[in-house]
A and B are shown apart, each in its own frame.
Chain A
Amino acid sequence: MKYSLFIILFFGIVNQMHAQYFDKTYSVALDINVPVTNIDYVNKVSARGFKLGYREMINEKLFGGVDFTNSTYTRYIPRQTYTNSTNATTTDLFNYAYSYGLTLSFDYFFKTEQKFMPYAGLGVGASFMNYRQFFNAYSNQDENWGVLVRPQGGFLYKLKEDSRWAFLAGIHYDYSSAKSKDFGLDAFNNIGVQVGVIMLEW
C-alpha cells in the first residue's frame, strides 16, 4: 500500500513538472560579431557586444518577442597622407561603428521541455548605426537609421530538466540598411555568435 502510494505521488510530481511549461523567456548574451561588409572602414571582431531578449509563447514551439543588441566595430588606419585636389591631409584614423538593433523576433523550437532545445528564428526591426571617425583630438560622425533583418539559430541547454535557467548559444547574420553617405559606406552586414543565459518563466 505504501509502495503504491509512493508511485502515485512520484508520478503525480513528475506529471506536475511536465506541466510546468515555460511561456516566457528573458535572455542576456555576449554577442561577438564580425563585419562582412564595409571592411575598408571597420574590420576588427567586435567582442564587447551584447544581446537582450524577451520571448512569449505563441504556441508550444513558437515564441515571439523582442531583441535589443549592441556591438562596436573598429579599425585603425596608420598615419598616411590623403590627397584631394589641392588639399592634402596627413593623419592616422580610428574608425568606429557603433551598432544598435531592436527587432521583433520569432523563434521556432524544434524541441521544448528538454535539456537540449534547438531553435531557428528571424528578427526584423530597426537598426541604428553611429559611424564615428577619430583623429587626434577631433572626430567626424554620421548617424543613420535602417531596417535590420536577422536570421538566427542556436540552442538552449539546461543542466537539469526542471531548471529555470539555461545556457544559450546561437549564431546570426545581420543585414542593416543603415548606410553612410558621408563615409561612403554601404549596408552593414555582420555575422555573430551569441553565448549567454536564458531565464525560463512559467
Chain B
Amino acid sequence: MMRSFILMIGLSLLIVGCQPMPDVEALNQNLIVQTDYDASVSFNDYTTYTLTLDTLGLISNNSKDTLQLGPYAKDITAKIKANMDARGYIYVDKNQNPDLGFVAFIVNDFKVYQTISYPSYGGGYYSSYYGYYYPRVNTYASNSAALILELVDLNKKTSQNQFKLIWTCYIGDIVSSVDPFQKSVEAVDQAFVQSSIIGR
C-alpha cells in the first residue's frame, strides 16, 4: 500500500515539475511594442529628418556583420518613412542638415536585462543600455532578437558627446514570432500609433 502511495507522490511531483505554460504559438502571435519619449522635448519644433533606407543596423553575438540588408530592412525602413511623412516631417538626406535622425537596428543574441512596466501590475524600469538613460524593454533570453527604433535630436548632444535620444521603441521578439516579417511591419505602425506625441 505504501508503495502505491509513493508512486502517486512520484507522479504528482512529476506533474508539479511540469508547470503548465501558455501555448508557444499563442505566445508568439504578437510582438511586444514598447515606446518611450523625452517629455522635455517638443516634437513640433522639428521639421526634417533623415533615415538610412533599405538598411538596418545589426548588433549580434552570432555575426560580425553590422548591417542587415534585404527585403526585411527595406520594408521596415519604408514603413518608418511612411509614418514619419504622415506625421508631417520632411525626409532629407544626411548632408542636408536634418533636425532628427531615425535609427533602426536589430539586436540579436545580445544579453541585456529585460522588464516591462504598465499600470496596475507594477513593474519597474531599468536601463544602462548604450549609455542612454531611457527606460525600455530588454531581455536576457539568448535566442531572441529585437528591433530597436530610435529618434535622436541631431542638433543637441549629451555630455557624453552623443546625440540626444528623444524617442525609443523596442519591438520583440522577432526570432520566435510566427510571422516576423509581417508582424514587424505591423509593429512599426503600432509604435507610431501609441506615440501620438510624434508629429508636427
Contacts and interface: CB of A to CB of B under 8 A. Distances in A.
Interface of A: 26, 28, 40-41, 48, 50, 52, 54, 68, 70, 72, 74, 76, 79, 81-92, 94, 96, 98, 100, 130, 133-138, 140, 164, 181-184, 199, 201
Contact of B28 (A76, A81, A84, A136): A136
Q: Across the A-B interface, give the 3 residue pairs with the lowest CB-CB distance, nearest first.
A: A82-B118, A137-B173, A94-B22
B34 A138 contact: no
Contacts of A90: 32-34, 190, 194
A93 B21 CA distance: 12
Interface in B20-50: 20-22, 26-39
B119 A82 contact: yes
B62 interface: no
B119 A88 contact: no
B117 A89 contact: yes
A180 to B, nearest CB: 9
Contacts of B161: none
A137 B114 CA distance: 11
Interface stretch (B4-12, B71-79, B80-88, B95-103): B4-12
Interface residues of B, number: 51
A201 B5 CA distance: 12
Given A85-B39, A88-B35, A100-B16, 17 more contacts: A40-B120, A41-B121, A48-B15, A87-B35, A88-B34, A89-B118, A92-B30, A96-B19, A98-B19, A134-B27, A135-B27, A136-B31, A136-B172, A137-B27, A140-B115, A140-B123, A184-B121
Question: Main SS of chain B's interface residues?
Answer: loop
Nearest to A82: B118
B122 interface: yes
B52 interface: no
A199 B27 contact: no
Given A26-B1, A48-B20, A181-B122, A136 B32 contact: yes
Contacts of B194: 81, 83, 88, 90
A184 B119 CA distance: 10
Nearest to B124: A182
Given A82-B118, A137-B27, A199-B4, A72 B141 contact: no
B1 A136 contact: no
Contacts of B60: none
Nearest to A131: B121
B90 interface: no
A138 B120 contact: no
Contact of A137 (B4, B9, B117, B141): B141
A41 B144 CA distance: 27
